[in-house]
A and B are shown apart, each in its own frame.
Chain A
Amino acid sequence: MQEHILSILIFFPALAAMLGFVVHKDSARAYGITVAAIEFFLSLWLWSLYDPMTSGMQFMEMAPLVSAFGISYLVGIDGISLFIIILSAFFTLIGIASLTEKRRVKDLIITLLFLEMTMIGVFSALDAIVFYVFWELSLIPMLYIIGAWGGPLRIYASIKFFLYTFTGSLIMLVGMLFMAYFYYQATGQWSFSLLEWYRLILPVNFQMWLFAAFFFGFAIKVPMFPFHTWLPYAHGQAPTIGSVILAAILLKMGTYAFVRFSLPLFPDASVAFMFPIAILAIVMIVYTAMVAYAQEDIKQVVAYSSVSHMGVIILGIFAMNVEGITGSVFLMIAHGVVSGALFLLVGVIYDRRHTKLMSEFGGLASVMPRYATIFGIMMMASVGLPLTINFVGEFLSLLGFYKQSHSYTLVAGTAIIVGAIYMLSAYKKAFFGTVTKEENKNLKDVNRTELLGLVPLVIVAIWLGVYPKPLLVPINNSVEAIVQLMHDKAQTAEAKQRIPDLAHSAGLNSTQEAH
C-alpha cells in the first residue's frame, strides 16, 4: 500500500465523492467528515513515511498514458509539496466539519471531495500534462461552489474567476507544449516528465519566452498584480467554505508552480526577470495593503490581505537562495492556515448577522469574547508576530531577498507596517468601542461546531510558530536541491552569481540531487 499511497491520496476522495451520490442526504455530513478524516490521516501517514533527509522525489509512481508523446501518469512528492498536500487534506476536513451551509449540503460535500482530488493531484503531479489536467479540473468545483452557493453577484464572479484563470492556463499550456517540443528536439523523444525537463538546458532567449508563457498561468492564479481583480469578486461572492479553500490552498498552486516549474526550468530567465517580478511583488504588498485598509467589508479586508501576503511569498521565491525559497514555501503553509482561519472567522459573524460590513459591528469583544480572542490571535499571526506561524515565513522570505537587493527589501519590508495598519484598524472597527447596534447585543459566542474548526488552526498557528523545525527540515533539503540544480544549469554570469553554489560553499552539508 505504501508504494501507491499518493494515488490513494489523490483518488480516494474522488471515489468517495462518487459513492457519495448514493448516500442519504441526512448522513452526507457525517459521510463527508469520515472521508475527509480518513484522507487527512492518510496524509499524516504519508508524512510519517516521508524521509526528511532525502531531497529528491519520494513515493514516485509511473504509468504510461500516451507513450508516443511521452505523457505518463507520474506522481511523486518532495519536501516542497508534502506539506501543501497535508494542508489540503487538513482544510478539506476542517471545512466540512465546520460547515454551516444549510442548502444542498450533500452536493456541496461531493464537490469539496472532488476539489480535494484536484488539489492533491496538482501538488503531486510530476508530469506536465497530468499537472495541467488537475490544474484545470480544480476550476470546475470552485466555479460550482461560487456559482451555486454564492452571493447575489455569484454568476458574474464565477464566470470572471473561470475565464480569467482559464485564459492564463491556456497560455501556460502552450508553453508546456513548446517545452516538450524543445525536449524532443534536444533528445529525439517526447517527454512531459518534469524530472526529464529539469535536465534540459535551454538557450536564454527560449527561456525568456517560456518563462513568460508559464508566468501568465501562474501569476493569474497567485494572483499577482495587476491580475488580481478576480479575487475580491470571487471572495466577495463565494460562501465561507469556498473562500477558505480558495485562499488556503488554490492560490498556493500559483506560487508552488513557480518553485516547481519556473525556477528549475528557467534559471537564467528567472534571474533576468527577478527585479521586474520583485517590483510587482512590492506593488502587491504595499498597494493591496492600502486597498485593504480602504475596505468597508471585513471579508474584502481579508481577501486583499491575501494578495498582500502572496506578494511576500513571490518575493521569497525570487530571492533564489535557500533562505528565501524555504521561507516562501513555509509561508505558503502559514498563509494557508492563517487566511483560512480568518475566512472561517468572517463566516462565523456572517452566519449570525448576514452582513460583512464593519460599520454594522463594533464592540463585539464584549459580546463575543471567545470569538474576539481567536480572531485576535489569528490577526496577530497575520501581521507576523514572532512565535506565530507567519513570522517564520515572512522573516525568511525577506531575509532571503535582502541578499539580492537592500533597497527592494526595505520597501517590501513595509509589509509589516501596512499589514498592521489595515488589520488593527479593521479589528478596532469590528471588535472595540461600544455596542451600538441593537442586533449585536445578544449575539451568541462561537459554538462547538465552529470551535471544532478554529481551535486546531489556532494550535497549528502557534505550534509551528514556536517549533517550525518539523516543516523546515524537509523543505530546506528539497529547496537546497533545487537551488543547486539552478546554479548548475545557469548560463549567464549574473545567474551564476545570484544563485548560490551550495556544493562549493564551505561548511555546508547540502544534500544534492544526483543527476
Chain B
Amino acid sequence: MEVYLYIALFAPLVGSLFAALFGASPKTVITGLVTSGLLFISFVSSAFLLSYVMSGHTVHVEMMTWIAAGDLYIPFGFVVDQVSVTMMMVVTIVSTVVHIYSIGYMDHDKGFNRFFSYLSAFVFSMMILVMSDNFLGLFIGWEGVGLCSWLLIGFWYHKESASWAANEAFIMNRIADLAMLIGIFMLYWNLGSLQYDVVFANIGTLPMHIITWIGIFLFIGAMGKSAQFPLHTWLADAMEGPTPVSALIHAATMVTAGVYLVVRANPIYSLIPEVGTAIASLGAFVAMFAATMALVNRDMKRIIAYSTLSQLGYMFVAAGLGAYWVALFHLMAHAFFKALLFLGAGNVMHAMHDELDPFKMGGLKKSMKWTWILMTLASVALAGIYPLAGFFSKDLILEVAFVEHHYVLYTVLLLTAGLTAFYSFRLVALIFHGNERHLEHGIHPHEAYTFVLYAMAPLAVLAVIAGMAFKTPYYLMVTHLLPAVTYHIHNHTTFWIMTIGTQLFVILAIAYAYKKYAKAVKVDKKVESGFFYQLLYNQYFIPKIYDEVFSKPYLKLSKLAWKEIDLKIVDATVDGIANMIYQTGEKTHTMQNGNLSSMLRWMVIGLVVLLVLAVAFTAGYNAVNLQAM
C-alpha cells in the first residue's frame, strides 16, 4: 500500500516538473495531457487506498528526516487514514476534472504549459497538506498551496488587478500563518513533538488555558486559508485568476484546508467546547455575511466566491459544534457541486468573451444547453433540494445546530439557506433565461468543447448522488477516527416539519428569484441607490476600510521610517558624531603647533588629569577573585 501512497502523492509533482520543462516554450498540448494523466493515476491510487482504508486499515510511512535540532524531530511522514483519504479523493477527483477542463479552457492562452505546471504543483502541495502526519508537514503544504495560489491568481500578471489580488491573498494568508506558527511553537514546547499521534495522545495532560490558546492560534491559521471574517477579502479578489483555478483552489480544495485543520485537530477542539462555540458562531456569521454580499453583486465569479465563503461558514459551524464528520461531509459534497458551478461559469465566460456581468447576458439556455443543465444542477445541489448532495450535507448542519440547542445559529443558517437559493438562481436566471441582452454587445455565444462537457460530467453525477449514496458508508468509515455522533431529532413531527419547512422555504426563494430575473430585468434605481444596496454592493466597505486603515498608513509609515527616521535621525546622528570628532581634531591640532612651551604645558595638564584619574579609580578598585574552571 505504501507504493500507492507514494504514487498518489508524487504523481502530481512529476507532472508539474514535466510541464515546467516546457514552461517558456509555446503551447504543447502534451503538457496538459501528461499532467491530467498523472493526476488520474494519482486518483486511481487514492481510490485503492480508499478501499484499503474502508476495510479498516491505515497506512503510515516515514520517508526521511526533515528537520532535527535539539529535541525537535520532524520527518517527512505521511498518513492515510479515514480523514486524509477523504480529502485525497476530493482533491484528486476535482483536480483531474479541472485539468482536463483546462485543456479546453486555456486553449488559446500563451502560458498554457506554465499554467499546467502551477496547477499540478498546487495539487502536490494540497496532497502534502492533507497527507502529512505532523503539524509542520501540514504547514509545508499550507504554504505550498499559498504559493501556487499566488502564482495562479496572478497568472495573467500583465493585469495590475491580478498581481495585486495575488499579493493580497499571499500577505493576508501570511498574517494567519503567523498565528498558526505560534500554535505550532506552543505545541512543541508543551508536548515536545509535532507528530499528530503524539500530540493528540498527550494534549489532555496540558492545563486548560494552554489548550485554549493552542486551539485559538491554530484556528486563526485556519481562518486565513478558509477566508473567514475578518481575513476574507482576498477570496473575492482572487477571482482574478483563470476560472479553473477558482474552481479547484478557491472553491473545492485550498479554501477548505482550514476546515480540514479543525477536523484533523478534533482531539484538541473536543477539549475546548467554548472555542468550538466561538468557531461555530463566527462560521454562522460568515455564512450570512457572505450570502448577503452575493445577493446584489454583479460579477458572476464573485457571486460564486461569496457563496463559497458562505458554505465555508456552514462547515465551521459543524466543526465548531463537534460534528466533525458532518463538516468533512459537507466539505466533500460542496467541493463537487461548487467546482461544477465554477466550471459552468467558465464556459459562460468563454462564450461571453470574458464578460462577467450577468446583467449583460441572458437567454443562454438556447445556445448553451448543456452548460445550462449542469449549472442548474449544481445550483439545485447548492440550494439543498432533495435528493441532491446539498440536501444531505447542508441540512445535516442545520440539524446539528438544532439538536445542540444552538437555536440562534440554526435560525441564521436557515435564513442563509434561503438567501443561498435566491442568489444562486438569480444568477442562473440572469444568465440562461430572459432576453439575450448580450446581442447588443455583438456577442454570439457558443457551447464549450464537447470533451470539456464530458470532463464536467463526473462532477455532475457526484453532485447528484454524493449525498444519497455516500452518506452511510462514509459515516461508517470516518467515524473510526472522528467522534461518532449522530444527530437525530427524536420527535418525528418536528423532524418532518423542519425538513419540509426548509425545503419549502428554499423552493420559494428559488421561485422568487426566477420570477424576478427570468423574464425581463428591471433595474430599480431607487433600491440600488438605497443604503443597504450600496452597503452590500461595496462589501460592507470593508476592502475600502482595510485600504485606508492598513495599506495606506503602512506605506506612509514606511516612507516616514526611511526618509525621516533612518536618513535624518539614525544616519545623521552617526555622521554628526563623526563630524564632531573631525572638528575636534581640526580645532585641537593647534596643540601640536611645534611650539615647545605650549606643548609642554599640554603635557603637564594631561599628566595631572591622568594621575587624578588613576588615584580616583584604584581607590575604588578591589581585586576580584577570578577563578578558572
User: Which A residues have a C-beta under 8 Å from some C-beta of B?
Assistant: 163-164, 182, 185-187, 199-203, 206, 225-230, 287, 290-291, 293-295, 321-323, 326-327, 330, 363, 365-366, 369-370, 373, 380, 385-387, 392, 395-396, 398-400, 402-403, 406, 409-410, 413-414, 416-417, 420-421, 424-425, 428, 431-434, 466-469, 472-473, 475-476, 480, 488-489, 507-508, 515
Q: Which residues of A contact B154 (CB under 8 A)?
A: 432
The answer to whether A321 and B624 touch across the interface, beta carbons within 8 angstroms, is no
Contacting chain A: which of B26-34, B137-145, B390-398? B137-145
The answer to whether B68 and A472 touch across the interface, beta carbons within 8 angstroms, is yes
The answer to whether B67 and A417 touch across the interface, beta carbons within 8 angstroms, is no
Interfacial residues of chain B within 168-193, with CB under 8 A of chain A in the complex: 170-171, 174-175, 177-178, 181-182, 184-186, 188-189
The answer to whether A489 and B629 touch across the interface, beta carbons within 8 angstroms, is yes
Q: Which residues of A contact B242 (CB under 8 A)?
A: none
The answer to whether A295 and B562 touch across the interface, beta carbons within 8 angstroms, is yes
B563 interfacial by beta-carbon distance below 8 Å: yes
The answer to whether A433 and B157 touch across the interface, beta carbons within 8 angstroms, is yes
Quick one: given A182-B626, A229-B566, A476-B70, are A291 and B558 in contact (CB under 8 Å)? Answer: yes
Quick one: given A229-B571, A387-B144, A409-B185, are A428 and B628 in contact (CB under 8 Å)? Answer: no
Q: Which residues of A contact B557 (CB under 8 A)?
A: 290
Quick one: given A410-B182, A413-B178, are A385 and B143 in contact (CB under 8 Å)? Answer: yes
Q: Which residues of A contact B628 (CB under 8 A)?
A: 186-187, 199-201
Q: Which 8 A-B pairs have the closest CB atoms?
A: A186-B626, A322-B70, A229-B571, A294-B558, A432-B163, A402-B185, A294-B562, A323-B70
Q: Which residues of A contact B178 (CB under 8 A)?
A: 410, 413-414, 416-417
The answer to whether A287 and B561 touch across the interface, beta carbons within 8 angstroms, is yes
Across chains A and B, the number of contacting residue pairs, with CB separation under 8 Å, is 167
What 8 new A-B contacts, CB under 8 Å, besides A322-B70, A410-B178, A434-B158?
A: A202-B626, A290-B554, A291-B561, A294-B562, A326-B70, A392-B67, A395-B67, A420-B174
Quick one: given A201-B628, A385-B143, are A416 and B181 in contact (CB under 8 Å)? Answer: yes
Contact of A469 among B68, B171, B184 (CB under 8 A): B68
Closest to A164 in B: B574
Contact of A186 among B70, B158, B163, B627 (CB under 8 A): B627
Closest to B158 in A: A434
The answer to whether B147 and A476 touch across the interface, beta carbons within 8 angstroms, is no
Q: Which residues of A contact B189 (CB under 8 A)?
A: 402-403
B148-176 contact mask (Cβ, 8 Å, vs A): 1 or 0: 00100010011010011001001100110
Closest to A417 in B: B174
Contact of B626 among A185, A229, A420, A507 (CB under 8 A): A185
B72 interfacial by beta-carbon distance below 8 Å: yes
B interface residues, how many (CB within 8 angstroms):
59
Interfacial residues of chain B within 273-300, with CB under 8 A of chain A in the complex: none
Give the CA-CA distance A380 to B146 in the complex, in Å. Answer: 11
Q: Which residues of B contact A420 (CB under 8 A)?
A: 170-171, 174
Q: Which residues of A contact B186 (CB under 8 A)?
A: 402
Q: Which residues of B contact A424 (CB under 8 A)?
A: 150, 167, 170-171
The answer to whether A294 and B170 touch across the interface, beta carbons within 8 angstroms, is no
Closest to A182 in B: B626
Contact of B629 among A199, A431, A467, A476 (CB under 8 A): A199
Quick one: given A226-B570, A365-B157, are A386 and B140 in contact (CB under 8 Å)? Answer: yes
Could you jot down 10 A-B contacts, CB within 8 Å?
A: A229-B566, A229-B571, A230-B574, A290-B554, A294-B561, A386-B139, A395-B136, A403-B189, A424-B150, A488-B629
B65 interfacial by beta-carbon distance below 8 Å: yes
B504 interfacial by beta-carbon distance below 8 Å: no
B64 interfacial by beta-carbon distance below 8 Å: yes
The answer to whether A290 and B558 touch across the interface, beta carbons within 8 angstroms, is yes
The answer to whether B72 and A469 touch across the interface, beta carbons within 8 angstroms, is no
Q: Which residues of B contact A290 (CB under 8 A)?
A: 554, 557-558, 561-562
Contact of A416 among B147, B158, B177, B566 (CB under 8 A): B177
CB distance from B16 to the nearest CB of A (A): 13
Give the CA-CA distance A400 to B66 in the complex, in Å. Answer: 17
CB distance from B190 to the nearest CB of A (A): 11
Give the CA-CA distance A410 to B216 in the complex, in Å. Answer: 14
The answer to whether B67 and A366 touch across the interface, beta carbons within 8 angstroms, is no
Give the CA-CA distance A224 to B154 in the complex, in Å. Answer: 36
CB distance from A306 to the nearest CB of B (A): 14
The answer to whether A369 and B171 touch across the interface, beta carbons within 8 angstroms, is no
The answer to whether B171 and A417 touch across the interface, beta carbons within 8 angstroms, is yes
Q: Which residues of A contact B562 (CB under 8 A)?
A: 290-291, 294-295
Interfacial residues of chain B within 520-570, with CB under 8 A of chain A in the complex: 554-555, 557-559, 561-563, 565-566, 570
